[in-house]
Amino acid sequence: MNQVTGNETVKLHYTGKLGDGQVFDSSLQREPLEVKLGEGKLIPGFEKGLVSMKVNEKKTITIPKEEAYGEVEKSLFQKIPNENLPPEIKPEVGMGLMSQNPDGSERQLRVADVKEGFIIVDANHPLAGHDLTFELELLEIK
């Protein structure tokens, strides 16, 4: 295969950056990402950016938040009374927590604020509300 059409398995290196240039993820110091396209495993803008790339090609793409993790949703902020927290937890802003959903699945939360007697947790994806830039290098098309 000469170029990505959108339904193949690809292997690539990537570096993801926020608008201010801060790197939030990179595969350069580990194994390349290998993923089958068209299965919804990647954010839409990332997958779109791979289409028409050729092996060994490098390019930089900018993904608007709407094609990444979306806007920050205020409905995903929740007030949790301190008595609902395990006693060994001393919450701090930015701390990650895990919550179990009624169906048994887990959800990552982030402490957004600490108040007297309660905390505010944020269930938005940490990259929600951000446009993202990725430097891509396509290594292989299978």
Q: What is the CATH number of the domain that holds 86?
A: 2.40.10.330
Within a domain: residue 17? Answer: yes
Domain of residue 133 covers 9-70+127-141
Residue 29: predicted pLDDT: 94
37 closest CA partner among 53, 23, 16? 53
Residue 4 lies in a domain: no
**What number of CA atoms fall less than 13 Å from residue 56's CA on the CB side?**
1
Where residue 15 sits, what CATH number does that domain have? Answer: 3.10.50.40
pTM of the model: 0.83
Among 5-14, 77-86, 97-106, 110-119, name the one with the lowest average pLDDT: 97-106
Q: What percent of the chain has pLDDT over 70?
A: 99
Would the pLDDT of 2 be above 80?
A: yes
Pair (19, 66) in one structural domain? yes
**Average pLDDT for 125-142:** 96
- Is residue 139 predicted with pLDDT exceeding 70? yes
The more confident residue out of 98 and 121 is 121
Burial of 31 (0-12, 13-18, 19+ CB in 10 A): exposed
**31 contact partners, CB below 8 Å, separation of at least 6:** none
Please state the domain count of the chain: 2
| pLDDT of amino acid 104 | 85
Confidence of residue 1 (pLDDT cuts 50, 70, 90): low
